[in-house]
A and B are shown apart, each in its own frame.
Chain A
Amino acid sequence: MKSKNQKKKPKQKNKIIPFVVIIIFIILGMIGIGLDEPSQILNQATQICLSCIGIG
């Protein structure tokens, strides 16, 4: 019985880890939203940065 439980644990851990990772990055993204980063990204992405594409 004990060995069965020991076998199950790594599998359960493998199932949980992706969710933990996703939650951590969601929190990171929320911090970015809190800092108003999306507006800065929108500002960057709506202008052609010529030097960024090798022109000029």
Chain B
Amino acid sequence: MDVMRKWVQVLFFFMTNGYWKFPYTRAIYKGPLKVICSPGLNCYSCPASTTYCPIGSLQQLFAGIRISIETGQFFIGFYVIGTMGVIGGFVGRMVCGWACPFGLFQELIHKIPSPKFGIWPVLRYFKYGLLIFMVVLLPLFAVDEFGTGEPWFCKYFCPAGTLEAGIPMIILQPALRMNLGWIFALKVFILVFFIVWAVLSSRPFCRTACPLGAFYALFSRVKLVRLNLDLNLCTHCQACHDVCPMGVRFNESPDDLECISCLACTKACKANAINLEIGGIPIVNQPKRPELKGV
């Protein structure tokens, strides 16, 4: 299953970054596919990007909400929130484990041999702060004299944007290097910080700072595709604790907000107590433990 997940991750990487003419055009993709939402965090200013980033679009719409209402257009973000909500309702944070290019990037660099460390669980709440303040409140209310806000998360924080868009664009368009300042330096510092952290710890950005993951986490109890724990089969051996890349103790909190449904725990569970189900119907019917057959 892990091999299949890797293939799905690669597939989504190329589906959301399918414009490979950019080394010749030195520009981003401008076609109609950009009306489709990228399920994962994937900067739409990335030269290869073929979809829009929901977090980037949402901030842009919030930042321009006053002007849009004044001109009678009412671009409030219903389409973006609706799309994000549909994805969240179907799979929730499964996106993080299966379809996010930046998640794949973190997984790959975590394979670099080094001492490995856990992440202090309290840090997980930081991403909800980023979602509320940098994605919603600051773009809405920190406005200039014209009533226009800024995409705060993209501009001052997003390491995925720096990796996928900022750095490639200054390579493709050398003239842009004249515009580099402290904001870019700050963003490069944040990117380097998360890269180093991702080598040492599993998925630090997803666990502590991703506002899209924070949004999808809100669907953990109401999503269609989810992992189910069979309490009758669980032996509380804690095998699921050791393998979880998100630090979830699955047998203690099966609806944990951090679970990305990567299925690592289903493989590790010798009691076959964890199953993937869609709408309450198990899709992987695992054999029950022999000693419990017929109980």
Which residues A16-56 have CB closer than 8 A to chain B?
17-19, 21-22, 24-33, 35-42, 44-46, 48-56
Q: Nearest residue in B to A27 (C-beta to C-beta)?
A: B82
Q: Which of A35, A37, A49, A55 has the most CB of B within 10 A?
A: A55
Q: Is the interface of B mostly helix, strand, loop or mixed?
A: helix
Is the CB–CB distance between A40 and B61 below 8 Å? Answer: yes
Q: How many contacts A-B (CB < 8 Å)?
A: 154
CB proximity of A26 to chain B, nearest CB, Å: 6
Is the CB–CB distance between A56 and B44 below 8 Å? Answer: no
A15 within 8 A of B: yes
Which residues B171-221 have CB closer than 8 A to chain A?
176, 179-181, 183-184, 186-187, 219
For the side of the interface on A, what is the size category?
35 or more
Q: Nearest residue in A to B176 (C-beta to C-beta)?
A: A55
Q: Are A35 and B176 CB-contacts (below 8 A) given A48-B169, A52-B45?
A: no
B85 within 8 A of A: yes
B28 within 8 A of A: yes
Is the CB–CB distance between B82 and A36 below 8 Å? Answer: no
Is the CB–CB distance between B161 and A54 below 8 Å? Answer: yes
Which residues of B are found within 8 Å of A35, using beta-carbon distances? Answer: 73-76, 78-79
For the side of the interface on B, what is the size category?
35 or more
Is the CB–CB distance between B77 and A18 below 8 Å? Answer: no
Which residues of B are found within 8 Å of A5, using beta-carbon distances? Answer: none
CB proximity of B258 to chain A, nearest CB, Å: 19
Is the CB–CB distance between B35 and A55 below 8 Å? Answer: no
Is the CB–CB distance between B34 and A45 below 8 Å? Answer: yes
Residues on B facing A (Cβ under 8 Å): 27-32, 34-35, 43-45, 52, 56-57, 60-61, 68, 73-86, 88-90, 150-151, 154-156, 161-162, 165-166, 169-170, 176, 179-181, 183-184, 186-187, 219, 222-224, 279-280
Residues on A facing B (Cβ under 8 Å): 11, 14-15, 17-19, 21-22, 24-33, 35-42, 44-46, 48-56
Given contacts A29-B79, A37-B79, A56-B181, 16 further A-B contacts (CB under 8 A): A11-B280, A17-B222, A18-B90, A25-B82, A25-B85, A32-B76, A35-B73, A35-B76, A37-B75, A40-B75, A41-B57, A42-B35, A46-B30, A54-B156, A54-B166, A55-B170
